[in-house]
Structure 1
Amino acid sequence: MVVIPVQQRDNVSNYQSLRSLFEKNITVNSISEVLATCNVSDDAQQIRDQMVFKDYDVIGVEENGMVIGYVLRDDLGEGTCKEYIYSFSPPELVSDSTPLLQTLFIFKNTERLFIIEGNRITKVVTLADLQKPPIRMLLFGVISLVEMHLYRIISEYFPEDSWKNHLTAKRIQLAEELFLQRKARNEAIQLSDCLQLCDKRDIVLNEQPLRERLGIESKSKGKDFFKKLEILRNNLAHSQDLNTQNSWNEMFSLIEQTEKFLEECEKI
């Protein structure tokens, strides 16, 4: 039986608490918009003109004071809205308390989500809403957790800076220069605190037993994963579109991979 030191257990517990903050306390409501509505008997072309003016892609359709479905702007033509109505399907409906991270995974199978508050459908979320600050905060937080876990694992796995064996002299020099700068500011740090994500990546990928414990099948797959993670982090840091170089589904898959990776980190 492996005995995990108390400090290590506490560290993992702290990371799990921080992870819980991102995963459970930020909900889909933070990126939702109030669902505008029309009546089933409204003229479809007039409603389309209003949607173009207000830049709505979708609005709800009411009958007898209840939202019973929705229409899409590009569908609307002659006749009434009733002729163009879509019924809500189960994959499109979520509770207002649904965690934001879970919302990302749900979007793998739909282009929009409608939010239920009580017994009423009141709000909507589209792919465009995934560019909003709460999503960026969530994703940056998840990536930060990856870096925190890697720092913890490297510090515990490589005593006396033995991780240097996996880096080039130039990368070590850059870390040492940053270390001296931060020490001059009286920051209580270790040299491993000054490693960049690319350094942590190389250390982990070059140590086969550690790589296997983290569930990384091969160096090439590990490099691909971390490269995509770095691109996403850079897009977040520079306020770029989150799917600039990848489709939304590829980004959703990346976040799923990251979640699995964090689960493996928490086991160490």
Structure 2
Amino acid sequence: MTWAPNHDASIEKLWKVQNSLTVGLIMVPRQSFTTCKPSETAKDVQRRNPNNFSFFPVEHEGRIIGLYDAERWFSQAAPDTHVADDVQPLSEDILIAADASIFDFIMQADRHPTNLVVSGSQIAGLISLSDIQQLPVRAALFSAITSFEMAMALAITKRWPDPAEWAALLPEKRRERLEAEIAKGREGDTAIDEIAYTQFCDKKTLIVLSGALEMGRGKLEKALGRIERLRDPLAHANEYAGSAAKAKKVCETVRTLVELKNMIFSFLQGREKT
């Protein structure tokens, strides 16, 4: 028996799963905010910030009016400047909807590391770059990378419909491992499409050779390598964003993944028209 997956439908399902994971799952709710007042000084905020919160929502008469950057005073003495004179007012740059996907937040979190979460007409919570370490984010990232890997598989099989063609392009040791896995599947009557037995590193090799992506080979290999380096700790439940620098790299990698996936879909649509 052959279990031949419908890759197109499976990718669509993964995107639905990804989009169902919203920022509301990982935000700090408003009732848990540590806020500051416009009348306070930077020195006041520094004094009562032992946990080193990077940003404070600024509250005036029960309403949130902006964000205050407290990270500047982690390693230096804060001045007597009032918060009112240095507040980042509410704007599209720091607002995100509660039902926005986690993926939407990751796409811009290195540029806007703290967002106020809006539900209806109210500020409902706060989300920051450090939240990229949370479990729902891991699920969103892994589903995105899995759907990308499936898209690569589709492109490879479009480029070389005969599995023997693309298998011949793999390094000898990788090809031998692949053949052994396929043989094992057939013995157990659990055979699936040959491409499903390949690992990310195999697909990476083949997608570079396929010409499916309009990007220079060296640049493409580096981009795929960054995605693979994010994929591996996600797959093995290891740490992947343990510092601000690593979290920002995750954001960059996700934008690269989306760019490459769009290229693959353009390639697939072009192939289907010829």
How far, CA to CA, are the matches of 1:173 and 1:150 in structure 2?
Answer: 21
Q: 1:69 to 1:246 in 2, by over 3 A?
A: closer
Structure 1 match to 2:227: 229
Structure 2 match to 1:215: 213
Match of 1:173 among 173, 176, 182: 176
AA aligned to 2:25 is: S
Structure 2 match to 1:128: 130
Matched, 1:60 2:60: no
Tell me if structure 2 keeps the 8 A contact 1:51–1:57: no
Of Structure 1 and Structure 2, which has the larger fraction of its residues in helix?
A: 1
How far, CA to CA, are the matches of 2:110 and 2:42 in structure 1?
Answer: 30
How far, CA to CA, are the matches of 2:135 and 2:104 in structure 1?
Answer: 17
AA aligned to 2:16 is: S
- Percent identity for Structure 1 against Structure 2: 17
**Gap runs ≥5 in structure 1:** 1-6
Matched, 1:31 2:34: no
Length-normalised TM-score, structure 1: 0.79
Structure 2 match to 1:116: 118
Q: 1:150 to 1:72 in 2, by over 3 A?
A: closer
How far, CA to CA, are the matches of 2:243 and 2:62 in structure 1?
Answer: 41
Structure 1 match to 2:262: 263
Shift of 1:101: 1.5
Tell me if structure 1 keeps the 8 A contact 2:97–2:117: yes
Tell me if structure 2 keeps the 8 A contact 1:43–1:81: yes
SS in 2 for 1:104: helix
Deviations 1:17-72 (A, max 9, x none): 422331x32222222112413444568656544431x5533222322221223334
Length-normalised TM-score, structure 2: 0.78
Matched, 1:91 2:89: no
Shift of 1:228: 0.9
Shift of 1:82: 4.7
Q: 1:165 to 1:134 in 2, by over 3 A?
A: same
Deviations 1:66-122 (A, max 9, x none): 122333445566587556544233311122122221212222422211111222223
Deviations 1:237-263 (A, max 9, x none): 342233779655543332222112222
Give the length in aligned residue pairs. Answer: 254
How far, CA to CA, are the matches of 2:228 and 2:202 in structure 1?
Answer: 12
Q: 1:147 to 1:231 in 2, by over 3 A?
A: same
Structure 2 match to 1:3: none
Q: 1:172 to 1:101 in 2, by over 3 A?
A: same
Matched, 1:254 2:257: no
SS in 1 for 2:109: helix
Deviations 1:172-230 (A, max 9, x none): 111122233444544232433221111112222223xxx1xx32323222211211111
The higher relative CO (CA closer than 8 Å, separation ≥ 6) is in 2
Matches within 5 A, 1:119-198: 119-156=121-158, 157-198=160-201
Match of 1:12 among 8, 14, 18: 8
